[in-house]
Amino acid sequence: MQSRVIEKAASLLESGACTRVLGWKAGAFFYDVTPAVFTCAQEVREQMVFNPFCGANLSKYLIAESRKEGRIAVFLKPCDTFSFVQLQKEHRIARDKVWAVGVQCRGMCDIDSLKELGLKGVTAVEEAEDDLRVTTLYQEKTISRKEALSPRCHTCKSRKLLDCDELIGDQGQDLPSSRFAQVEALEAMTPEERFAFWRGELSKCIRCNACRNVCPACSCEKCVFDNPNSGVQNKAAASSFEENLFHIIRAFHVAGRCTDCGECTRVCPQHIPLHLLNRKFIKDMNEFYGPYQAGGDFDAKPPMLAFTLDDPEASIITNGRDGQ
Amino acid sequence: MQRIGVFVCWCGSNIAATVDVETVAQTLAKEPGVVFSTDYQYMCSQAGQELIQEAIREHRLTGVVICSCSPRMHEATFRKTVEKAGLNPYLLEIANIREQCSWIHKDKLTATQKAVILGRAAIAKVQLNAPLTAGKSPVTKRALVIGGGIAGIQTALDIAEAGFPVDIVEKKPTIGGKMTQIDKTFPTLDCAACILTPKMVDASQNENIDIISYAQVEKVQGFVGNFSVTIRKKARYVDEHKCTGCGLCTEKCPQKKVPNEFNLGLDNRRAIYIPFAQAVPKVATIDPNYCAMLKSGKCGVCAKVCTAGAIDYKQQDQLITREYGAIVVATGFEPIQLDKFDEFAYSQSPDVVTSLEFERLMNAAGPTGGTLLRPSDGKHPHTLVFVQCVGSRCDGAEKGKSYCSKICCMYTAKHAMLTREKYPDTEVYVFYIDVRTPGKNFDEFYRRAVEEYGVHYIKGMVGKVTPQDGKLKVQASDLLGGRQLRIDADMVILAAAIEPDKTARPLATMLTASMDTNDFFTEAHPKLRPVESPTAGIFLSGACQGPKDIPETVAQASAAAAKVIGLLVKDSLTCNPCTAKPDELMCNGCSSCEKVCPYGAITYVDKSFRGPNRTTLIRRVAQVNPAVCQGCGACTVACPSGAMDLLGFSNQQILAEVDAICR
């Protein structure tokens, strides 16, 4: 797959079809993959990668990149295409200046998953069918790809590649996903247990803003937390109240627009399962207003922006604490 | 530095009895920025207003807080007051310490504390108020009347008489509405057609009135003074301008078995038809559900016999878009479906009829030519049982309606009286819960039915009607006599409840006009503004607002016309300056606000902004048309970036109020 992706990128630049390519390149470590823009084929061949660690969703970068001169080619995995469509629905991406190449995906891996398997000092990972050959400073080991998957890929919702100009690999289908199981487990808790769970998680937050910066839905021209006129600008959480509210406000902010790509949790250096907040909103909206997938298509009306006479009046009075 | 004046109103004892107004004034005097604080018996009185104006001048006030009744009551009054003293009217805030405080609390201490808090919130808000200037919007001097029954006709005639053009949109092929189907009218017993058809003709001949029949409103945009309405004129497959209404086609059409809706299906009409002789416009219409030519392309008889060449099988629906300054809703009523009332055997016997069907059976233009005959065998009925309140005044409203349909007592008395007059050999029974006859000459009318015409009025309800051996076995209770009755009737007539026309609900959504739980349109104030909808520029005429008889409908129709005329004579309207305003530097151009705007006030433009390093960025940003924006605030909460704000109700102002309350 890697060679096909790199060849495609190089040929798009060589043929002049695009002036830039948005892809991935290795960071300090080979598994520390970072988004990158390439401007010539040579650069692509030397630096571009497409390995099991290319989890980063590139759609958000198109907001800025599609405003620049010339056409940009971008490589999108199925879950990334949902963000791509959602951003187009919000008029954030100039579609005519983007050449979207859909890349089929078998789930991305996570170095933390490898570490959990007891593999230290990983120097290389090779794909082989359903297995991965892992080379470390100490040994060589073959593990199943499944074991190394990033947690979010275990509950993958779809392998469909939406709105792409061309595909590498086959078009995929929606998958049966148990992604709401964790939300259900949280719902089953008592309010006190749930509060304790979230306090435990959110108290770890260091307000690095990585979740906000990576989130494709969090793409305001000026973030309210950076705006001195907003009255809520801050760089560090001064109290536990602020720790909680920063994330809850962010979840409200992206409600109805979050495609559940899971980037927030992936980038969190403190390993807070932030995606669960968004997933709770998605689950509630599905139940109140009927199934809706943000970025799933161009036509569906977003439930938070559509009004029908049959809308339920979801209320904390009737559905709140323990149904009292 | 702000210089705020606080004025606490006693409202006689309305506020002062539950709120210690003096304490409120003294406590609020200590709030930051407050330089003057006082209380007075009636702030809205001449003396009270002068007190405010004097304080503004003497203390050079920059903001005014009035603690009084709801702003819905006197905000406009006090805005004028401060404006006369030289202050911008939007530098005024009202703390509602009557409806939201004194009226709902009993304990004086709590109420006083709450009044202080409400006052404090208003002070916090007025600190951030900015002077606003109201713009003007022009008024399109044309009115739209939706519904061409007697209500719509009367409203249109009155508006036209005042010199303004007015369009009537009627969904049926002819105007006239329910009144065309009625035989005689109570309490005078004059013939409905004789008094209605001249009005229909007047409407069609009035050069200010344009009748758009066989049409429905499809889309409404805009706001008071500036509505833009799209009307779908359905294809009637007959050129209205060519058709002379000779009726030859309606005689020659081979499709004879079409239920005639004008006679409520009691007889048949052809596939091409003119609803009735006095129809306006008197133009034929082809029913596409029955026309063989339209269904299978085989026939064409009407086109052959039409000397005017008016038949056009290829006619299409037509969309008409017009501008209006005011819209009158006159969508009227329908009798309810009786499928939930099978105890009266309506579905089992053709001799059980509704009162409206009975009107047709008594009418000279009806299916029996005005002779009362049983629908089942065409024989003369001898015993007639009238049942009132079928579906009206139902407990719990699961089966019928909880309200009184208002007109049934009177028309049943009319039916009973007319039957006895024409056919003295009949026995007529009327079963009632109560007989309600408030109205000029109404009770006299009912008593005549009982005393002069010998109608048997029995208090009690009919329990069951069973068709048996050509008779209708009626079981009923006589509550006053304390006995069960069994009557062998020839006909049973059900006074079905009336409900708003089914098209009213989607129309209300288009007009953003509110409705009650029964789908009757809500008036702006049940006593003081009975013909206006709460939505500016939308007026109500006739039974769409509640059950009404003809005199009441006509009175309301003329009242609505007067309101419309009052609006249309104005050249411009003062806009509400409290409109939405986007911060272009924050706007993403995501279209969320546009999607939630009920008034279509938001559009987008591509605008150049300065980017980093002397670059120019072109971004899509929202723009609000302040003349169209009604200040509802939906966009301000939908905007994910917080770029949209409402002038006069900015996020900052509301948060300041919340902070003041939580302090």
List pLDDT tens digits, range B475-506.
999 999 999 999 999 999 999 999 999 999 99
Supply φ then ψ for residue B319, to 5 degrees.
-105, 125
Q: What is the pLDDT of residues A140-174, one digit of tens each?
A: 999 999 999 999 999 999 999 999 999 998 999 99
On the 0-12 / 13-18 / 19+ scale of CB atoms within 10 A, B370 is middle
Give the DSSP per-residue string, B71-123: HHHHHHHHHHHHHHTTS-GGGEEEEE-IIIIITT---HHHHHHHHHHHHHHHH
B202 shares its domain with B301: no
Q: Which chain B residue has its CA at the smallest distance from A90's CA?
A: B590
Q: What is the pLDDT of residues B219-241, one digit of tens each?
A: 998 888 999 999 999 999 999 99
User: Residue B110 is encoded by which pair of tokens?
Assistant: 């709590």
Is the alpha carbon torsion for B507, B509, B514, B517 positive or negative? positive
Residues linked to residue B382 through DSSP beta bridges, in sequence order: none
- Report the pLDDT averaged over residues A277-296: 93
Report whether pLDDT(A312) > 70: no
State which of B499, B534, B553 marks the end of a domain. B499
The confidence score (pLDDT) of residue A222 equals 86
Are B364 and B355 in contact by the 8 Å Cβ rule? The answer is no
Contact B619 A221 (CB under 8 A): yes
Q: What is the pLDDT of residues A177-206, one digit of tens each?
A: 899 999 999 999 999 999 999 999 999 999
Name the packing angle between helices B192-205 and B150-161 (round to 10°).
40
CA angle B551, B515, B95 (to 5 degrees): 110
Strand B143-146 and strand B326-329: the pairing is parallel
Cα separation of A78 and B105, whole Å? Answer: 60
Using CB atoms, which residue from B586, B604, B638 is nearest to A305? B638
B243 part of a folded domain: no
Amino acid letter, residue B498: I
> Which of B590, B591, B650 has the highest number of chain A CBs within 10 A, making it the mutation to test binding with A?
B590
User: Residue B560 is encoded by which pair of tokens?
Assistant: 């609505």
B663 part of a folded domain: no
B185 shares its domain with B106: no
For every residue of B209-265, which 3-state class applies, written as one string?
EEEECCEEEEEEEEECCEEEEEEEECCCCECCCCCCCCCHHHHHCCCCCEECHHHCC
Contact A222 B591 (CB under 8 A): no
Residues of the domain holding B265: 248-305
Torsion of CA A150, A151, A154, A158, to 10 degrees: -80
Nearest to B162 by CA among B143, B138, B147: B143
A241 confidence band (pLDDT: 50, 70, 90): confident
B429 shares its domain with B517: no
Cα separation of B148 and B508, whole Å? Answer: 17
- Report the pLDDT averaged over residues A25-45: 93
Name the packing angle between helices B108-126 and B21-28 (round to 10°).
40
Q: Which of chain A's residues have a Cβ under 8 Å away from the Cβ of B619?
A: 221
Q: How many CB atoms lie within 10 A of CB A151?
A: 16
Q: What is the pLDDT of residues A82-107, one digit of tens each?
A: 999 999 999 999 999 999 999 999 99
Nearest to A257 by CA among B592, B575, B202: B592
Q: What is the CA radius of gyration of chain B?
A: 31
Minimum distance, in Å, between the CA of residue A138 and any CA atom of chain B: 49
B104 shares its domain with B197: no
B402 shares its domain with B546: no
> Which of A69, A91, A215 has the highest number of chain B CBs within 10 A, making it the mutation to test binding with B?
A91
Structural domain total, chain B: 5
B390 shares its domain with B432: yes
Amino acid letter, residue B22: E
B134 part of a folded domain: no
Nearest to B37 by CA among B26, B48, B49: B26
Edge-to-edge strands of the sheet including B352-354? Answer: B352-354, B491-496, B383-390, B427-432, B456-459
Residue B107 CA neighbour count, 13 Å, CB half: 4
Report whether pLDDT(B589) > 60: yes
The confidence score (pLDDT) of residue B352 equals 96
> Which three-class secondary structure state does DSSP give residue B472?
strand
A230 confidence band (pLDDT: 50, 70, 90): confident
> Which of A215, A298, A305 has the highest number of chain B CBs within 10 A, making it the mutation to test binding with B?
A305
Are B180 and B605 in contact by the 8 Å Cβ rule? The answer is no
> Which three-class secondary structure state does DSSP give residue B492?
strand
Is the ipTM of this structure higher than 0.95?
no
Q: What is the pLDDT of residues B627-651, one digit of tens each?
A: 778 898 999 999 998 899 999 999 9
User: Residue A93 is encoded by which pair of tokens?
Assistant: 């991406």
User: Residue A66 is encoded by which pair of tokens?
Assistant: 């599609």
Report whether pLDDT(A323) > 60: no
B654 part of a folded domain: no
B119 shares its domain with B198: no
Q: Which chain B residue has its CA at the smallest distance from A220's CA?
A: B641
B261 part of a folded domain: yes
Average pLDDT, chain A: 90
Residue A217 CA neighbour count, 13 Å, CB half: 24
The confidence score (pLDDT) of residue B396 equals 67
Report whether pLDDT(A320) > 70: no
Nearest to B419 by CA among B366, B478, B371, B469: B371
A229 confidence band (pLDDT: 50, 70, 90): confident
The secondary element (H helix, E strand) that includes residue A323 is none
Report whether pLDDT(A315) > 60: no
Cα separation of B620 and B594, whole Å? Answer: 13
Q: Does B603 touch chain A (CB under 8 A)?
A: no
The confidence score (pLDDT) of residue B307 equals 94
B474 shares its domain with B612: no
B73 shares its domain with B92: yes
State which of B438, B470, B499 marks the end of a domain. B499
Contact A257 B640 (CB under 8 A): yes
State which of B93, B126, B159 marks the end of a domain. B126
CATH of the domain at B428: 3.50.50.60
Contacts of A314 (CB under 8 A, 6+ apart): A284, A288
B117 shares its domain with B166: no
Residue B248, CA distances (Å) to B59, B253, B329 in order? 84, 9, 36
The residue whose two tokens read 């006909």 is B491
Minimum distance, in Å, between the CA of residue B123 and any CA atom of chain A: 19
Q: Which chain B residue has its CA at the smallest distance from A221's CA?
A: B586
Contact B586 A231 (CB under 8 A): no
Task: Output DSSP code: residue A67.
Answer: T
User: Residue A11 is encoded by which pair of tokens?
Assistant: 């040929």
Give the DSSP per-residue string, B540-577: E-GGGSS---HHHHHHHHHHHHHHHHHHHT-SEEEPPS
- Report the pLDDT averaged over residues B512-517: 88
Give the DSSP per-residue string, B374-417: -TTT-PPPSEEEEEEEESSS-GGGSSS-SS--SSHHHHHHHHHH
Q: Does A68 touch chain B (CB under 8 A)?
A: no
Cα separation of B121 and B99, whole Å? Answer: 16
Q: Which chain B residue has its CA at the smallest distance from A254's CA?
A: B640
Q: Which of chain B's residues have a Cβ under 8 Å away from the Cβ of A307?
A: 596
> Which of B509, B511, B595, B637 has the highest number of chain A CBs within 10 A, making it the mutation to test binding with A?
B595
User: Residue B628 is encoded by which pair of tokens?
Assistant: 């169209």
Using CB atoms, which residue from A227, A254, A305 is nearest to B595? A305
Q: Omega into A228 within 30° of 0, i.e. cis?
A: no
Are B437 and B430 in contact by the 8 Å Cβ rule? The answer is no
B483 shares its domain with B410: yes
Strand A20-26 and strand A131-136: the pairing is unpaired
In total, chain B counts a number of residues equal to 663
Q: Which of chain B's residues have a Cβ under 8 Å away from the Cβ of A227?
A: 586
B573 part of a folded domain: no
Contact A305 B655 (CB under 8 A): no
Query: Which of residues B183 and A304 earns the better pLDDT score?
Result: B183
B656 part of a folded domain: no
Strand B352-354 and strand B491-496: the pairing is parallel
B222 part of a folded domain: yes
User: Residue B646 is encoded by which pair of tokens?
Assistant: 């409402």
Q: Which of chain A's residues have a Cβ under 8 Å away from the Cβ of B604?
A: 91
Average pLDDT, chain B: 94
B103 shares its domain with B174: no
User: Residue A213 is encoded by which pair of tokens?
Assistant: 């910066």
The confidence score (pLDDT) of residue A245 equals 87
**Beta strand extents in chain A (DSSP E only):** 20-26, 33-38, 48-49, 72-76, 98-103, 122-128, 131-136, 140-144, 166-168
Minimum distance, in Å, between the CA of residue A90 and any CA atom of chain B: 4
Report whether pLDDT(B66) > 90: yes
Residues linked to residue A99 through DSSP beta bridges, in sequence order: A73
B614 confidence band (pLDDT: 50, 70, 90): confident
A319 confidence band (pLDDT: 50, 70, 90): very low
Q: Does B632 touch chain A (CB under 8 A)?
A: no
> Which three-class secondary structure state does DSSP give residue A308?
coil
